[in-house]
Chain A
Amino acid sequence: MNLRDHIYLTWLNGGWQIIIGIVYNVSAALLVAFTHSYTLVVDTFILKIPFTALVFYLAHNLRPRDSCFFYINLGFSRWRFQIVILLVDFLLFAILMTLALLPNGKP
């Protein structure tokens, strides 16, 4: 199984979670870019934690009960792709926040 397959499987597993994460991250980064506020970075990060937890809880409960076996059959643990989505989401948040602050330096 190659990298393309892994990306495809991650997208299949939680495509809409990724989209929601991107929307949140981009919105937060735009807010920070226009206000140049470090406090807002901390606030959006603190808000992101329960927001992400809620999205993951909904994803877990709305997904068909047996769908995890599609991935288990392929030799992956049931949580693997969720962890990847979580990591990518927070990594994207960090990158966008850095970009939002970079051109302006310290407020």
Chain B
Amino acid sequence: MESHRLIVDSVVVRFGQKTVLSGGYITSSTGAVTGLLGRNGAGKSCMFRALMGGLRVDNVMVSIDGKPVDRRIIGKSIKYLPQGRLLPENIQLHRAFELYGVNYWTFVNWFPKYSRFYDSALWELSGGEARLAELYLVLMSEALFHILDEPFSQIDPVHIEAVKQLIIERSKDHGIIVTDHNYDAISTVADNLFVIADGYTFPVTQRDDLVRHGYLRPQ
């Protein structure tokens, strides 16, 4: 298995006079799940959107194995599941899978109810059904790294365990970054954790780190 290392550094994001990120940083390696935590508005999604080129930022440095990444074609190396809707409303589900090079019927093996959605346009699915399909698509498509922004939101509780299992299996030969408000879900899949607070990223080694940065209340 080839090992790769992604480093996102010096992320600076400002909206007018407001500075959201002053020194955003995150790293990911093949074979590991990295969890990113932070309160609402801390800048987690901004950092991901910045690194993927979907947000104009003051500064961002992205490298894989020490080489700068051409952000015009970053999708070939990194796949990103945003918080909002990823797929166009009028795309047929099987067509999206074809474009992303993912086998639809393997997806159906995991989630059998989707066999009837093969020809369905995305707008015919509920929010949760669409979210699960998008999550699978991003996670299983070809890339070195996968970034999942709140992957557990909108997902049926009965599917949470399957999603965790998918993430863990996929992380064996890919690097995965996950952010979510469900701290318990993140902590069970993540090999290492970071927290964003006051515009900077801090490593988390114990629960007290999260309390110190205002993410959790003291017990």
Contact = CB atoms under 8 A, between A and B. Distances in A.
Contact of A66 (B53, B75, B82): B82
Given A12-B88, A69-B82, A72-B74, A77 B53 contact: yes
Contacts of B18: none
B85 A67 contact: yes
Contact of A72 (B75, B85, B88): B75
Contacts of A8: 95
A77 B54 contact: no
B85 A73 contact: no
Interface in A69-92: 69-78
Contacts of B189: none
Contacts of B99: 1, 5, 9, 74
Given A64-B85, A67-B86, A73 B72 contact: no
Contacts of B91: 12
B141 interface: yes
Interface residues of A, number: 21
Interface in B45-98: 49, 52-54, 72-76, 79-80, 82-88, 90-91, 95
Given A5-B99, A9-B99, A12-B90, A72 B52 contact: yes
**Chain B contact residues (Cβ within 8 angstroms of A): what range?**
20 to 34
Nearest to B96: A70
B190 interface: no
A13 B72 CA distance: 17
A65 B149 CA distance: 14
Nearest to A76: B75
Contact of B76 (A13, A71, A75): A75
B54 A66 contact: yes
B79 A73 contact: yes
A20 to B, nearest CB: 17
Nearest to A63: B88
Nearest to A12: B88
Contact of A65 (B76, B84, B100): B84
Given A66-B82, A66-B84, A67-B85, A74 B54 contact: no
Interface string A1-40: 1000100110011000000000000000000000000000
Interface of A: 1, 5, 8-9, 12-13, 64-78
Given A5-B99, A71-B75, A73-B138, 11 more contacts: A9-B99, A64-B85, A66-B49, A66-B84, A66-B85, A73-B80, A73-B86, A75-B73, A76-B75, A77-B53, A77-B72
The 8 closest A-B pairs by CB, nearest first: A66-B84, A66-B82, A75-B76, A73-B75, A75-B75, A77-B72, A72-B75, A12-B88
